[in-house]
Chain A
Amino acid sequence: MSACPTTLPTSRPTEACPAADCADVNASCRLPVLTLFAGAAFWLVVGAGFALIASIKFHAPGFLADFAPLTYGRVHPAHLNALAYGFAVQAGLGVTLWILAQTSKARLALPGGVFIGALLWNLGVLVGVGSVLGGGSTGFEFLEFSQAGSVSLFFAYLLLALSGVLTFANRTVPSACVSQWYLLAALFWFPWIYTTATALIGCVPVRGVTLAVIAWWFANNFLFVWLGLIGLGTIFFLVPKFAGRSLHSRQLALLTFAILLGFGAWAGIPASAPVPAWLPALSAMGAFLSLVVVIAVAFNLKQTVGKYLCTRSEPSPKFIGASVWFLMLFTLGNATTACAAVAATTGFTWLTPALTQLGLCGFFATAMFGAVYYIAPQLTAAEGCCARPAKIHFWLNLPGVLFLVGPLAVGGIKQGLALSHTATPFADVTKATLPFLRASTMGDLFLLLGALLFSVNLGRLICGCIKKCCGAAGCCRTKSEVAS
């Protein structure tokens, strides 16, 4: 494994890492990172299952309606939270820790802490999802978890992030590469926004719509900035690897970084919100300026890979390529719907959840699949073994996202137009939207199948590794891992 290509010029002899060789780095990551991946896969299946249940309710409202925990208003937030906290954060942190260890050429710090942190995080998600299903939701989107769940998540995160920061501090490579900026910033970002939001909403609540403003602010900082930082950090690490050359421009990546943090963090207040008008206006400006991110990322990656990435047949580059496209559509959609004139029609429609799904399942989850299919075989010393099932997963994931987001977006626009046409009775508006919601069930089904296949693929890799460890000692575990 070579170091991050943006930081080690080819003219300079590659330094051997003095502290740890690459097998050593992988060995230090094995248990903690695979634990995070396994947890992520579990919640991905749970989240996708809940999504399917919620979706079927639009075919038959009475489906599972007499069992309170599975009523639509509980199962839908449970689905989003299981995906966001159970899958996205865990997969994101697993990938982050591995990339930080690789690019730092240092063993993962505190592997035991990460393992405990991962268990604690899963406990937090379990308590949180349980509270949502049990009727204990806080009523704020993406902050529905009960306080017990949130506290567990917070401490678990501190353990996980601490490991990442210490790994970076122990680096044996003099310079920091682009993906390290993104991933480190993300490690810091989440506790800031999460403590602000949970403290001001749950512990010492502020009053009235200020609560809603903070919840919107958090949701955007989580969905766009945090997922954006982790996703882009991963993409900026993997794409140069796939292309076999260094990232085209560090400066452009720095601009992207600055805009995503500086202006991306302003977006998220809906144009129609019952708050002082400057708030949505400022927010729309942030969303609009975030378009620079899309342009800069697209240009930077295009210059890096040329025509190479698209023709590549391995699964990881395919996932990453799709993810970049989804990110572009997601940011474009966010910027467009932030304009007051557009929001007058698209506000309160299915276009909003369509964009959320595009960011979460489209951009982020797809990038994570690509990364896990790249990382997990290395961690389990089983390179290239899951290329075929991973490719099948890609062909379940892509139509899954398209069939989920496409109908919701088109249905949402139609719904918005019908809602502004006041002569159309509301019942007719709903009736016209239903076929689109029903079509999106197909997307949910594909995504659930994809999630199951992902879990099976990952499970097979992990089982293979365990078998090897038990069969021939030392094949999978190295001395250094035992020592750490």
Chain B
Amino acid sequence: MLRRGGLLPHQIGGGVMNRGPVIFFSAFLAFAISFFAFVLLPQTQIGRQPLATVDGVANAYPAARPGEAHQGAEIYRANGCVTCHSQQIRQTGNVFDVVLTDAGTNLTAVLTAMNNHLNPAVEFALTDVTNALPKTILKAVPTKAAAEALSKKFTEAGAKTDLRVMPVGPDIARGWGLRRSVAADYLYDTPPLLGSQRVGPDLANVGMRLPDANWHLVHLYQPRAVVKDSAMPPYRYLFTTRKIGATPSADALVFPAGFGPEAGYEVIPTDAARALVAYLQSLRVDASLFEAPMTAPAK
């Protein structure tokens, strides 16, 4: 039924497109390229990524989530927390702090180096060299090369220095994380709840930021009890309110003054609420990785 040929000039450009198989294969080619680049290559590159080596210990990071936190991730997913909360920290770059850890034996040489290369407005005394080591002598040097060049002046004087890598960026300045998130952070997350919006704050590191379980439970039950004017909906369906019996329950939520249930009642978290909080507490990005180096704060 299909007649070929007899094309008119205005059809020449797409003439070949009169054939069904040509349409099929051109679409398939486009799909195959896109599939190759955005499905196959990422899988090849990071799909079998091993756990990271941290401080010389192989397969040390990330830690698997304990049972309750794992269940909590399911509660997080089921209730669509990911709709409003991202779990990824961005970083604009690194700055470097130079820390004097050991002054060595030639203190005068170190003092000279300090007076020559540090803040010219300050006249350092010998006590500055010996007192309270380790001591951050240079803060927020923008490039690694500059920081290394400066610390070299001190190592030449016989002192020992440490270079601290300090990630920077708005997310980090807000205290949401210590460094940017990378693929290795999500190896145990199925699904990875990365999120695309920050209606609420980022939660990548909420376990380090807000470790208090009661705070989280109260926040879930009545967000405005702990965050003024919070836009988060309450999750009262994850709790049961009951009359206080002979002895108040040890599990009951401790509310700030002026909040909570009416007198004589207590709020008990369900297993789901407890699991969710265990999950939130397990969210911490605290390891320095090859692809995202940072100097971890003292534990």
Enumerate chain A interface residues (CB-CB to B < 8 A).
Answer: 6-7, 9, 11, 57-58, 61-63, 65-68, 71-74, 76-77, 135-141, 165, 168-172, 174-176, 178, 180-181, 184-185, 188-189, 192-193, 196, 200-201, 205-214, 217, 221, 246, 249-251, 253-254, 258, 261-262, 265-266, 268-270, 272-276, 279, 282-283, 344, 347-350, 352-353, 415, 419-422, 426-427, 430-431, 434
Contacts and interface: CB of A to CB of B under 8 A. Distances in A.
Contacts of B229: 427, 430-431
A139 B77 contact: yes
Interface string B19-48: 110011011101101110111001101111
B54 interface: no
A344 B35 contact: no
A174 B4 CA distance: 7
Contacts of A265: 30-31, 33-34
Given A210-B42, A213-B38, A434-B231, A274 B30 contact: no
B201 interface: yes
A63 B237 CA distance: 13
Contact of B79 (A74, A210, A282): A74
B185 A274 contact: yes
A352 B196 contact: yes
Interface in B226-258: 227-237
Contacts of A67: 237
Given A174-B4, A272-B88, A212 B194 contact: yes
B34 A217 contact: yes
A275 B13 contact: no
B14 interface: yes
| Interface size bracket, B side | 35 or more
Given A61-B232, A73-B80, A174 B191 contact: no
11 contacts: A65-B233, A66-B236, A73-B82, A175-B11, A176-B17, A184-B27, A192-B28, A209-B192, A261-B26, A266-B38, A422-B173
A111 B233 CA distance: 47
Interface string B78-114: 1111111010101010000000000000000000000
Contacts of A66: 234, 236-237
A254 B80 contact: no
Interface of B: 1-4, 6-8, 10-14, 17-20, 23-24, 26-28, 30-31, 33-35, 37-39, 42-43, 45-49, 77-84, 86, 88, 90, 92, 170, 173-174, 180-202, 223, 227-237
Contacts of B8: 9, 11
B interface majority secondary structure: loop
Nearest to A217: B38
A344 B79 contact: no
A254 B17 contact: yes
Nearest to B285: A274
Contact of B189 (A63, A170, A188, A208): A208
B88 A275 contact: no
B174 A211 contact: no
B233 A208 contact: no
A174 B233 contact: no
A191 B193 CA distance: 25
B80 A266 contact: no
B80 A76 contact: yes
B35, B80, B190 pick with most chain A CB within 10 angstroms: B80
Contact of B80 (A61, A72, A352): A72
A476 B298 CA distance: 81
B14, B17, B188 pick with most chain A CB within 10 angstroms: B14
B11 A176 contact: no
Nearest to B32: A192
B186 A62 contact: no
A206 B43 contact: yes
Nearest to B200: A430
A178 B180 CA distance: 47
Contact of B27 (A58, A189, A217): A189
A68, A74, A77 pick with most chain B CB within 10 angstroms: A68
B6 A174 contact: yes
B30 A200 contact: no
A276 B90 contact: no
Contacts of B191: 138-140, 201, 211-212
Contacts of A172: 1
The 5 closest A-B pairs by CB, nearest first: A73-B80, A251-B13, A135-B78, A261-B30, A265-B34
Contact of A62 (B49, B182, B233): B233
Contacts of A253: 14
B17, B19, B30, B38 pick with most chain A CB within 10 angstroms: B38
A136 B192 CA distance: 16
